Structure 1
Amino acid sequence: MADRKLFAGHAVRRLRRQAGLTQAAMSDMLAISPSYLNLVERNQRPLSASLLVKLAESFDFDPRALAAGEPGGGDAAMRRRLADPMFADLEIDRNELEEWLAGAPGGAEAFARAYDRLGSGAGPAEASDPMAEVRREIERWRGYFGDLDTAAETLADELRLGAGDLYGAIAERLRVKHQLTIRILPVDVMPDLLRRLDLHARQLQLSETLDPASRTFAAAFQLGQIEARGEIEALAKGAGFADRAAERLFRRHLASYFAAAVMMPYARFLRACEATGHDLELLQRRFGAGFEQVAHRLTTLQRVGARGLPFFLVRIDRAGQASKRFSGASGSPLAEAEGRCPLWRLHHAFDRPGVLAVQLVELEDGARWLTMARTVTPQGRRYGAVPAEFAVGLGIAADLGGGLAVARGLDLRGEATPIGLGCRACQRSACPQRSAPPLGRALLINDRERGVSPFTFGGD
């Protein structure tokens, strides 16, 4: 944000309206003239650093939200949508797009939401995808659920007072308070299940194939379903899902969120992150958690007054299909985009299982991201069974990554790998890895020449 002018009139206007203030009242609070505030709201003046500080102090929000909250994800994200062939005949240039975003941010955001739900040839089944609905609701909260997190932290403190062994403390609480015992069953008894609640036998049955971190998580998940039922119910009802499957998926996410927050209580986890430089391996050991659990927890640290760094997370399989995407407070297009670039080492992680791959990347708009990627293997695998493996990518804006353990010895202002958001969205013309031309660009065929890229295409 320090390297570019920030035009965020739509976000300032939204803050003012949410507070029920007139322009005159808000300008008085910020010690600026009403005419200047009017120009800011109309995107005819950028936000100065001093005004940004005053806004943050007066309205208690994260200034990074202004950059992340641009209508439709901002200029670059809107250009990706408008590159769809259905708009090719409209010839919308950059200036026209900028005027639209500045003059009608609400209309631009409405277009973006409609396109994301129904655009690019999506049919009714895709439009009502419960996983997509749940992800939108999670991102609406920026990945952080305050009441649930506070309840989990309080419970974790109670359990910690009773015993040093978290798993044992959870098992004892389930037994004494809820008359549920934990039983570890052989894989032959539960060949296709990792966890099962048998209410008739009053047992939480866990597979012997689960490692210690996963057993603790499963036990905390069950405890959350019981003791955080009120918070989970309120959040699920407030989401207003029309699809029952989406609501149940969301409830499961919230119970998982609670379990992770019990294992990694907010204040203690944030202090450990700051003290260790977000050393992922050390955090795993300190909190008895798995790599993916720690990585996901890092995307949720958005408590007012005690915010962590804005990480994003992506999990893919070898075919590049994403099964998890959380942008959190980062607003990163690397989490939002449907496509991914093969030059991103997220894909290379499969070549060295269990080894953390660190990479500095740069997108077409000049945004630089410090990323980490490592493979994870799902629990429950038996010898001879179908092997499963995923790559989990974690990233943060490069200008915020200087204090990370993985950044030691790296020049975050130095050379970065130029990547895109998938070939169909990428406009880089000389990429030898390109598999398809970008959408909305005319192919140029010249039988007398062959460039580095197999595809040559026209400009804007």
Structure 2
Amino acid sequence: MADDALRAGPAIRRLRKRENLTQAAMASRLSISPSYLNLIERNQRPVSARVVMALVEQFDFDPRSMREDEAIGGLDGLARRFADERFADLAIDREELDEFLSTSPQAAAAFARLYDNAGPAGETYQDPLDASRREIERWRNHFADLDREAEELADEMRLSRGDIGLALTERLRERHQLSVRILPREVLPDSLSRLDLHARQVQLSEMLGPASRNFQLALKIAQLEKADEIMSIAQGAKFDDEAARALFKRHLDGYFAAALLMPYSRFLRACDATGYDLPVLERRFSVSFEQLAHRLTTLQRVGQRGLPFFMVRLDRAGQFSKSFMGASTARFAGEEVSCPLWDAHRAFERAGELVVQYVSLDDAGEGQGGWLTMMRSVEGSGAPGDARFVVAVGVEAVLATELAQARGLSLRPADAQRIGPGCIRCYREGCPQRSLPPRGRKLHFDRMRRGTSPFEFGERQG
């Protein structure tokens, strides 16, 4: 919590009112001037590490309340909600949303809660997948305790660059009296794995590749040995639907399995040493591209942070079936559909090839940087002939200059491919790739001229 750029004026103001103190009295207890406290409460000054420590020492104060905006995904999470077509006529920009969030975070959280739980006709509804994703977003997809325990277990099992599958198999045999058996596809036609406690077997489909087999074994270890710890985290989440909790728990199971295969410190050292060379990391840790992509979004240990990657998985229609933002601010990765100008779509036709593209949002200011993105096609479960997706990871270009996949690539803002958040939320004019008109804009029709874009539009409606 010792973040020198932390602005948490409303949380400090509520604490002062709860304690029934004047600004002068509270400033005295914090050993700062009343004028400085006034600036902090108005979000005109950040809360320093020293002031945070004084708040903890002097009051019954939880520093996590200073990050209350994270529960709704911060500014980007709020912006995604206000991008709804029902608000299109209000012309609310990010600067106004930033002011709303910084000055009235609880009001912003109340709006987000109402928005998230309101169905098409206003009825209360909580989509379990969205609810689970929001909880992951609230944690920024970093679960420090699970990472630490997975790292300790990896050391205990002496997992290294050797045969990881053998070590996992031995763990299941020695600790749980379970053998691992590979079964023909006709025996497990609709399953990747199965735990048969009667036969004392972990049964795996023969269609799984080595990386997927290792992950399934690590997953079984997570479920057998860390069930209590994982359930404790899942039970702490505020869900209205138990399906959302089950989805969240399933994510935590997979999180621990990935952390076991890619122990935090050793994995981060390898990232730094190789310049985050994705093919090298895959081979070094015997993981799939999708497993690697997941792990890259989790490197947020205090004092030992990795680069803030995002990860998405999309189908041929451009729909995101997975989206993990981690600490990234890539707004386009949090939408429901992708821009066809993003080369993630080309990766479907270049099976197994790593596609690299430098992109920036079309509404970014002149000279603003974008993201280095890297994409590859994958098969849904790791089984040949399975459903095909594209997994993409990305990091801000300003942080990517030393990465292996950035070598020889111009990262000047002028050279970025401009993309949008999907046609219905994109206001780029004259785009020949446009499939749908943007919501909330008046369409123009000219009988005498046909433009390159199928839809021409002007100012907002209303």
Mark yes or no: TM-score above 0.5.
yes
- The 1:197–1:101 alpha-carbon spacing in structure 2 relative to 1, beyond 3 Å, is closer
Q: Which amino acid aligns with 1:445?
A: F
What per-residue deviation string (whole Å, max 9, x for no partner) do you get for residues 86-145 of structure 1? Answer: 3456565788666544543432343234324436x37769x3222111111111111011
Contact 1:83/1:439 (<8 A) preserved:
no
Shift of 1:56: 9.6
Contact 1:349/1:355 (<8 A) preserved:
yes
**Matching residue of 2:140:** 142
Match of 1:360 among 344, 358, 368: 358
Shift of 1:450: 2.8
Q: After superposition, where does 1:38-437 map in structure 2 within 5 Å? A: 38-43=38-43, 45=44, 73-74=74-75, 81-82=81-82, 84-87=84-87, 90=90, 100-101=100-101, 103-118=103-118, 121=120, 127-160=125-158, 164-363=162-361, 364-366=363-365, 368-379=370-381, 381=383, 387-414=386-413, 415-437=415-437
SS in 2 for 1:458: strand
Shift of 1:267: 0.4
Structure 1 CA distance, aligned partners of 2:274 and 2:342?
26
Q: Which amino acid aligns with 1:394?
A: V
Shift of 1:338: 1.7
Contact 2:183/2:203 (<8 A) preserved:
yes
Shift of 1:315: 0.2
- The 1:336–1:161 alpha-carbon spacing in structure 2 relative to 1, beyond 3 Å, is closer
Shift of 1:445: 2.1
Q: Which amino acid aligns with 1:248?
A: A
SS in 1 for 2:312: strand
SS in 2 for 1:443: strand
Q: After superposition, where does 1:6-21 map in structure 2 within 5 Å? A: 9=7, 11=8, 13-14=10-11
What per-residue deviation string (whole Å, max 9, x for no partner) do you get for residues 271-308 of structure 1? Answer: 00011110010001111111111111000111111111
SS in 2 for 1:182: strand
- The 1:34–1:275 alpha-carbon spacing in structure 2 relative to 1, beyond 3 Å, is farther
SS in 2 for 1:183: strand
Structure 2 CA distance, aligned partners of 1:206 and 1:177?
19
SS in 1 for 2:376: strand
What per-residue deviation string (whole Å, max 9, x for no partner) do you get for residues 393-422 of structure 1? Answer: 111112111221111122322411111101
The percent of aligned pairs where both chains have the same amino acid is 55
- The 1:334–1:228 alpha-carbon spacing in structure 2 relative to 1, beyond 3 Å, is same
Q: Which amino acid aligns with 2:144?
A: G
Structure 1 CA distance, aligned partners of 2:312 and 2:304?
24
SS in 1 for 2:208: coil
Structure 2 segments unaligned to the other structure (5+ residues):
57-65
Structure 1 CA distance, aligned partners of 2:394 and 2:50?
29
Structure 1 CA distance, aligned partners of 2:290 and 2:10?
38
What per-residue deviation string (whole Å, max 9, x for no partner) do you get for residues 373-408 of structure 1? Answer: 1101134646xx6x5210001111121112211111
SS in 2 for 1:239: coil
Structure 1 CA distance, aligned partners of 2:162 and 2:121?
51
Shift of 1:270: 0.5
Shift of 1:237: 1.0
Shift of 1:55: 8.0
Structure 2 CA distance, aligned partners of 1:370 and 1:58?
41
**Matching residue of 2:445:** 445
Q: Which amino acid aligns with 2:353?
A: V
Shift of 1:453: 2.0
What per-residue deviation string (whole Å, max 9, x for no partner) do you get for residues 29-75 of structure 1? Answer: 999754345335435x476xxx7787899999xxxx98x9597743x
Moved more, 413-422 or 33-42: 33-42
Give the alignment's TM-score, normalised by structure 2: 0.84
Contact 1:320/1:340 (<8 A) preserved:
yes
How much is the aligned-residue C-alpha RMSD, in angstroms?
A: 3.6
What per-residue deviation string (whole Å, max 9, x for no partner) do you get for residues 177-236 of structure 1? Answer: 111111111222212211000111111111111111111111111111111122111111
- The 1:235–1:401 alpha-carbon spacing in structure 2 relative to 1, beyond 3 Å, is same
Structure 1 CA distance, aligned partners of 2:102 and 2:93?
15
Shift of 1:449: 3.0
SS in 2 for 1:222: helix
Contact 2:309/2:394 (<8 A) preserved:
yes
Structure 2 CA distance, aligned partners of 1:351 and 1:161?
36
Structure 1 segments unaligned to the other structure (5+ residues):
1-5
**Matching residue of 2:60:** none
What per-residue deviation string (whole Å, max 9, x for no partner) do you get for residues 127-182 of structure 1? Answer: 32221111111111110111111111101001117994322122112112111111
**Matching residue of 1:3:** none
Structure 2 CA distance, aligned partners of 1:358 and 1:55?
44
Structure 2 CA distance, aligned partners of 1:260 and 1:88?
41
- The 1:25–1:360 alpha-carbon spacing in structure 2 relative to 1, beyond 3 Å, is farther
SS in 1 for 2:425: coil
Contact 1:30/1:55 (<8 A) preserved:
yes
Contact 1:81/1:115 (<8 A) preserved:
yes
Shift of 1:80: 5.8
